[in-house]
Amino acid sequence: MSGTDILALAACGLVAIGLYGVVAQAEVLRKIIAFNLLGAGVFLLFGVVARRGAAAGLAADPVPQAMVITGLVVAFAATALALVLTLRLHQITGAATVAEDPPSGAAPDPASEP
């Protein structure tokens, strides 16, 4: 087993950990963090594919690398949007989760929205 194979398994593990976090955690913020871990695992799989495609004197295939750089920036933009939505949800309803039945304690806070 080569070093790249070990890192490939790490990427699969990262996807699994992220997927578990997205499904099993209640807070939206933690779901966003877990989703980013899942994304990092997918990007790492691209890195493994790039490394396996090393040729022509290059350490890794540049095409998957360029796709990952594009993906990282788009993932950041999507995360920023998700976080702002989370914050706005919290400001309007006081909720930190997207449970179907909002708890009675989380009444809308009129002070936060004058």
Partner 1 sequence: MTAGLLFDLMMALAVLGTAAWTLAARTQFAAVIGFVATGLLLSLVWVRLGAVDVALTEAAIGAGATGVIILYVVARLRGGTAEISAATPSRAQRALAALLAVAVGGVLALAVLNLPDPAPSLAEAALAGSAPLGLGNPVSAVLMAHRGLDTLLESVVLVFAVLAVWSMAADHRWGGAPGPVFRREESGPLSLLARVLPPVGIVVGIYIAWVGADAPGGKFQGGTILAAMWILPWIAGLARPPSITDWRLRLMIAAGPLTFLCVGLAGFAVADGFLSYPPSFAKPLILLIEAAMTLSVAAALACLIAGPPERRLPPESMAADRR
Count of positions on this chain that bind partner 1 (CB under 8 A): 86
Site for partner 1 contains 108 (CB under 8 A): no
User: What is the closest distance, in whole angstroms, from the C-beta atom of residue 111 to partner 1 in the complex?
Assistant: 13
User: What is the closest distance, in whole angstroms, from the C-beta atom of residue 20 to partner 1 in the complex?
Assistant: 4
| Contact positions with partner 1 (CB under 8 A) in 5-34 | 5-21, 23-27, 29-30, 32-34
Taking the C-alpha atoms of residue 114 and residue 110, their distance in angstroms, rounded to an integer, is 7
CB atoms within 10 A of CB 18: 21
Structural tokens at position 27: 């807070």
Contact (Cβ atoms closer than 8 angstroms) between residue 79 and residue 36: yes
Say which DSSP state 1 is in: -
Structural tokens at position 31: 């779901």
User: Which residue number, 24 or 108, has a Cβ lying nearer to partner 1?
Assistant: 24
Structural tokens at position 28: 């939206």
| Contact positions with partner 1 (CB under 8 A) in 34-93 | 34, 36-37, 40, 43-45, 47-63, 65-70, 72-81, 83-88, 90
Structural tokens at position 37: 């871990």
Give the one residue of 96, 107, 108, 111 binding partner 1; rule: CB under 8 A.
96
